[in-house]
Amino acid sequence: MAEVDFNAIKKDVGRRMDGAVEALSKEFGGLRSGRAAASLLEPISVAAYGSQMPINQVGTVGVPEPRMLTVQVWDKNLVKAVEKAIMESGLGLNPASDGQIVRVPIPPLTEERRVEITKVAGKYAEEARVAVRNVRRHAMDQLKRAEKDSEISEDEHHDYGREIQEMTDERIKRVDEMLSNKEKEIMQV
């Protein structure tokens, strides 16, 4: 009878659940609130040197004030390409260049847009919860199989299952807290 390494299963489950929470954190970083954040420009790619490059590889993104982002473009020949990439990003931003610096004012959000963004945040959070629950389901299936194959006892199955459920509850709680904080940030005028 092969011994089931529950610690390895638990470590894998924790890593995968944390991955779902981390992915949510990145998604939230790209969601616009009323304040400027360098992460807002992270998903933007710039046509440079014959290929698409992330904006942070052609310049330094800065936040000089709450409603302004700047991109210090390293190669002055790419200033227009950076401006164009920001304009075409779908974020509703209108950059203006000043030498090698591209200034990006962050317009205040309308109430309607805030509600829309809050709904998107809720959708992202639900996707993260589903991902965490899928990891739990997979782990529970592993335990069930191990018990069926007589690798663990019914009591061990019960104890391990409870631990995995606690891990799940902890991650779901973290997702809910992140969503609550993001909603407050978005609705803050």
Per-residue model confidence as pLDDT tens digits over 141-159: 999 999 999 888 999 999 9
Residue 142: other Cβ atoms inside 10 A:
17
Give the start-to-end residue ranges of the domains of the chain: 6-30+110-187, 38-105
Q: Any idea which fold 38-105 has?
A: Gyrase A; domain 2 (3.30.1360)
Q: Which SS3 state, helix, strand or coil, does residue 180 take?
A: helix
Q: Are 31 and 182 in contact (CB under 8 A)?
A: yes
Per-residue model confidence as pLDDT tens digits over 20-51: 999 898 888 777 666 677 777 877 888 888 89
pTM over 0.85: no
Domains 6-30+110-187 and 38-105 share a fold: no
93/137: higher pLDDT: 137
Q: What is the mean pLDDT of residues 165-174?
A: 96
Angle at 187 between CA 183 and CA 188, to 5 degrees: 115
Starting at the edge strand found earlier in the chain, the sheet holding 96-98 runs: 59-65, 68-73, 101-105, 96-98
C-alpha distances (whole Å) from 130 to each of 6, 9, 117, 136 are 23, 19, 20, 10
153 half-sphere exposure, CB direction, 13 A CA radius: 3
Angle at 164 between CA 121 and CA 156, to 5 degrees: 170
Positive or negative, the CA dihedral 139, 142, 144, 147 is negative
Q: Which CATH superfamily is domain 6-30+110-187 in?
A: Ribosome-recycling factor (1.10.132.20)
Q: Which long-range contacts (CB under 8 A, 24 or more apart) does 154-162 make?
A: 156/6, 160/6, 160/9, 160/10
- Predicted local distance difference test score (pLDDT) of residue 112: 83
